[in-house]
């Protein structure tokens, strides 16, 4: 991973083939002391694992998409869950047939490159478990 931190705190991040996306970004957030950030990326992913939340069963339906996929868009945020950085992101992908697939992003390795903007915010975004939803959600400004 290569990154540059702008004077205003924004991070320009580049990941190369084979690097884990979630693990790399969460480690960078830990090292840079980020408590909240907006994340956007494009590139290509290898064997991405996606999910779709089932509110009734309170679980994710997961699926791994084999091969290299164009990453048309990764949009998400970094927050803090159980004292550690946590990436919550959704992706839109395209295969060789130019058809788009998308969902909640779990993990993937970079398939070719990944180019990412990380816009930090000073307001902490801790995640707390919400029984109604069955998962942890943002508590903006909470400690």
Question: What are 74-114's pLDDT values in tens digits?
Answer: 999 999 999 999 999 999 999 999 999 999 999 999 999 99
Of 99, 97, 93, 14, nearest to 46 by C-alpha is 93
Whether 23 shows a pLDDT value over 80: the answer reads yes
- Please tell me the distance from the alpha carbon of residue 91 to that of residue 74, in angstroms, as a whole number: 4
Nearest to 108 by CA among 63, 77, 143, 78: 63
Q: What percent of the chain has pLDDT over 70?
A: 98
Count helices and strands in the chain by DSSP H and E runs: 1, 9
pLDDT of residue 142: 62
Distance, in Å, from the CA atom of 46 to the CA atom of 51, rounded to the nearest integer, reads 16
pLDDT in tens, 104-119: 999 999 999 999 999 9
**Residue 10: DSSP 8-state:** -
Tally of CB atoms within 10 A around 57? 9
Domains of the chain: residue spans and CATH: 2-138 (3.30.1330.80)
């Amino acid at each position: 991973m290569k990154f540059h931190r702008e004077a205003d705190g924004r991070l320009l991040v580049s990941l190369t083939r084979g690097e884990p996306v979630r693990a790399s970004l969460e480690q960078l957030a830990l090292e840079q002391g980020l408590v909240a950030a907006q994340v956007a990326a494009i590139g290509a992913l290898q064997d991405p694992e996606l999910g779709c939340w089932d509110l009734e069963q309170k679980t994710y339906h997961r699926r791994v998409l084999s091969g290299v996929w164009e990453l048309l868009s990764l949009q998400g945020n970094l927050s803090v869950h159980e004292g550690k950085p946590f990436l919550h992101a959704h992706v839109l992908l395209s295969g060789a047939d130019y058809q788009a697939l998308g969902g909640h992003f779990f993990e993937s390795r970079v398939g070719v490159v990944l180019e990412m903007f990380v816009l930090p915010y000073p307001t902490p975004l801790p995640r707390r478990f919400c029984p109604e939803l069955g998962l942890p959600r943002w508590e903006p400004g909470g400690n």
